[in-house]
Amino acid sequence: MGKNVVRTNEEYSTVLGARSENRLTATDYINALIDDFIELHGDRLFGDDRAVIAGIGFLGDIPVTVIGIEKGKNTEDRIFRNFGSAHPEGYRKALRLMKQAEKFGRPVLCIVDTAGAFCGIDAEERGQGRAIADNLAGMSDLKTPVISVVIGEGGSGGALALCHSDRIWMTEDAYFSVVSPESCANILWKDTARADEAAKALCLTADKLMKLGLIDRICRKGKLKELSDNLKDEFKKLMQMKTEDLIEARYQRFRKVGYR
């Protein structure tokens, strides 16, 4: 009786939309926002994670480091990009280049779009947990501004690992969640068909997260020129702050979450 029909609501539609294949990916954002982009590869420890595209270029007249999680454009590309699920090397490449950005006084832009960090034997044995933890700790006192923009899926720890930032922005059609609504429904009710209820309960949409004070701005979808202007303005503001103030403000940004 209607077993194959996916029940949905506003929140779950957002999740499904964020996963759909005909969306802008990190590469589109990099192409639109960054001039003279030069990609830089590798974590200097094990390998190069293709799910993470990182490099340097200009945002207007500001030299920036950009780190994006890329899901891929077509089937072949998606396989190449591991569907945007990073291994530990991806997070380590990101942190390496953030430290480099700190050295050269460049701000960092993270573009986040992932269902989650990759779940596999290799990923575990190369320290997925440690890699994410290192990013959280390493970004927490990075001496240069960081803005993260969630453009599609904000899948749990794998997305959070690039979001220990001064500003977290989301596009209006993105989601950010502690767990996928399907897993949540499965764990709580042993019924993945109730993913819609879970999506609603998890408060994972941009407007809900904005109301909770967990994100700082909602970006209109597809308005990349507007995003570019907003990023330039915000980076300029953040770059004027004294380093200690910047780091202290970042600490307080997360310090107040959940308990005021």
Partner 1 sequence: MDLKRLFLKANNDLESTDGKGSTRKIICKKCKKRIAVSRIRNNHFVCPECGHYFQVRARRRILMLTDRRSFIETDRELSSKNILGFPEYDDKLRAAMEKSRETEGVICGEGEIEGHRVCLFSMDSNFMMGSMGAVVGEKITRLFEYATVRHLPVLGITVSGGARMQEGMISLMQMSKVSAAVKRHSKDGNLYIVLLTNPTTGGVDASFAMLGDITLAEPGARIGFAGPRVIEKSLGKTLPKDFQRAERVLECGFIDAIVPRCEQKKYIAKLLKIHGM
The Cα–Cα gap between 46 and 65 comes to: 21
In the list 212, 225, 237, 249, the residue contacting partner 1 (rule: CB under 8 A) is: 212
Does 254 bind partner 1 (CB under 8 A)? Our answer is yes
Q: Which is nearer to partner 1, 34 or 51 (CB)?
A: 51
Stretch that binds partner 1, among 15-23, 63-71, 200-208, 224-232 (CB under 8 A): 200-208
Task: Tell me the torsion sign for CA atoms 81, 98, 175, 237.
Answer: negative
Structure tokens at 220: 């209109």
CB 206 within 8 A of CB 171: yes
How many residues of this chain bind partner 1 (CB under 8 A)? 49
The Cα–Cα gap between 246 and 13 comes to: 37
Strands (E), 1-135: 35-39, 52-59, 62-69, 108-114
Stretch that binds partner 1, among 14-22, 47-55, 112-120, 216-224 (CB under 8 A): 112-120
Does 128 bind partner 1 (CB under 8 A)? Our answer is yes
Stretch that binds partner 1, among 67-75, 107-115, 207-215, 219-227 (CB under 8 A): 207-215
- What does the angle CA 188 – CA 11 – CA 212 come to, to the nearest 5 degrees? 85
3-state secondary structure at position 225 = helix
Does 18 bind partner 1 (CB under 8 A)? Our answer is no
Structure tokens at 227: 């995003």
CB atoms within 10 A of CB 248: 14
Q: How far is the CB of 160 from partner 1 (least distance, A)?
A: 6
Binding map of partner 1 across residues 152-191, x = CB under 8 A, - = no contact = ----xx--xx-xx-----------xxxx---xx--xx---
Q: How far is the CB of 41 from partner 1 (least distance, A)?
A: 23
| Closest alpha carbon to 132 in 168, 101, 157 | 157
Q: In this structure, are strands 62-69 and 167-171 parallel, antiparallel, or unpaired?
A: unpaired
Q: Which is nearer to partner 1, 22 or 259 (CB)?
A: 259
Would you tell me which residues interact with partner 1 (CB under 8 A)? 117, 119-121, 123-130, 132-134, 136-138, 140-141, 156-157, 160-161, 163-164, 176-179, 183-184, 187-188, 197, 201-204, 209, 212, 214, 250-251, 254-255, 257-259
